[in-house]
Amino acid sequence: MHKKDYFPDSEDQHIEIDASPANRTSPKKLWGGAFSEGPDEDLNRLNASLPFDQKLVLEDIEGSMAHATMLGAQGIIPREEAEAMVTELKRMHAEAQAGKLVLDLADEDIHMNIERELIRRLGPVGGKLHTARSRNDQVALDMHLYVKRQSARMIEFVRETVSALIALSEAHIDTVMPGYTHLKRAQPVSLAHHLLAYGWMLERDKKRFEAAYRAADRSPLGAGALSGTTFPINPAQTAALLGLAETYPNSMDAVSNRDFVLDFMYAATVTMIHLSRLSEEIILWASDEFQFVTLPDAYATGSSMMPQKKNPDLFELIRGKSGRVTGHLMGLLMVMKGLPLTYNKDLQEDKEGLFDTVETLEAIFLVLPKALRGLVFHRERMRDAVRESYALATELADFLAQKGVPFREAHHIVGGLVKRAMAEGKRLDALSEEIYREAHPLFTDEVYSLLDPETAIRRRMSAGGTGRTSIETQLAALKSALQLSDRN
């Protein structure tokens, strides 16, 4: 049976589970045979993971369906019992998707809930589901399925955001703005070139999510608690049923590995850093001091006191939440750094940070592309910011160097011209031809054509530069890299 036959509609579902106190029945623990009394209630609360690992309900049921199918195919349990389990698990899967599957907080995690519910529905047959399986390989499988699924979603979110940046870039190939170093106006660039820098950052983020997808695309099921099992299982079958590309060669590694979670969280963190940098620039550009861009009303907020305010809350939240996502990555790294093999309860801490990271990125990506498409850039204001600065000074130094003057000497000569212009409160194009000839005889009246922002950009013909040819090449390459059509 192919994965699609099991759970065709399991992608991107938001599951609402009824886990209210009213459903608490305080059942006997499924693992309590060797204990003379149940755990302390305060320990129960600390130990329980259901309040958050219920997010894995679909993955847990899907893994159980594959496991039950394999048990029947291998003759470990009667085939008709395996089929009965799969039928009921499919029903539970549909109920979970509809938010109608009731979970009991008295059971400590999602795994015990699903198994107990299956036993309630099927009787002793349901108790055979956990044959040749431990919660250790079970939860590891759930996490693999979850990370793989979320990686695929993030890849699509990134593509949509880059598509918005490409649309803006295509509209602003000829829009001139200052490029900055140290937040000082440095050289003129095309706004498209500036925006495409973020497009390429996100293209690398897409590759990182693809790597996380591949890292999660394997099945730990069959590893048992740590050493495998005495039953004649077929891990390759369960992997194939779940659409996973491979199995683990080592059972101890299978149950203790969380590299794939770290890979995902690292990809998410770097993505958030890139989005934070973009947001910081939009915040600056929208400020009264820059006035480069106006935010769309639908993606800005106002002040409860000051009527004139139009605040870039979306972009400030992105900037702020980047620290939150980074913190989750650091937290899991610290959890993993000292763990002996194999499974330890510390690994319960791999989930909440991951889930919050996914929810944070999802919330941002659902709104950011729309906000980007609504930005209104002020072309004249951006061009004036170039002309009112000394951002074209390098054009003069390059001109002399191209005429044979050593660049270091040319740099010194033009530095003197900048110093004089600043002292006189003038722009470079306001200095007289006589002053330029004084500085160096190679300067003629053609010097003023060098001080045109559009000319300066056109002269940047190097690969990867801000010239039109380079930008058009970048646009085509970026669309190809992200498999985007020409319709953005």
Return d(Cα 64, Cα 138) in angstroms, integer. 8
At residue 178, φ and ψ (nearest 5 deg) are -75, 135
As given in the structure block, the two tokens for residue 83 are 């089929």
Return d(Cα 374, Cα 370) in angstroms, integer. 6
Residue 182 designated active-site: yes
Beta strands 293-294; 246-247: pairing state: unpaired
- Angle (CA) 196-149-108 rounded to 5° is 135
Peptide bond into 294 cis (omega under 30): no
3-state DSSP assignment of residue 447: helix
- Report yes or no: 388 and 427 within 8 Å, Cβ to Cβ: yes
484: burial class by Cβ within 10 Å (0-12, 13-18, 19+)?
middle
Single out the residue of 3, 117, 127 nearest to residue 50, CA to CA. 117
- Report yes or no: 23 and 102 within 8 Å, Cβ to Cβ: yes
List residues bridging with 179 in a β-sheet: 187
Q: Which amino acid is at 42?
A: D
Residue 71 is inside which H or E element, if any?
A: helix 57-73
Q: Which of 14, 36, 182, 485 is catalytic?
A: 182
- Report yes or no: 6 and 61 within 8 Å, Cβ to Cβ: no
Could you tell me which residues come within 8 angstroms of residue 203 by beta carbon, excluding any fewer than 6 positions away?
Answer: 158, 162, 478, 481, 482
Q: Which of 20, 227, 303, 449 is catalytic?
A: 303
Return d(Cα 206, Cα 268) in angstroms, integer. 10
Q: Cα 379 vs. chain centroid, distance in angstroms? A: 31
Single out the residue of 280, 285, 228 nearest to residue 255, CA to CA. 228
Return d(Cα 308, Cα 172) in angstroms, integer. 29
Single out the residue of 86, 119, 106, 183 nearest to residue 385, CA to CA. 183
Return d(Cα 219, Cα 238) in angstroms, integer. 8
Residue 322 designated active-site: no
Residues serving a catalytic function are: 182, 303
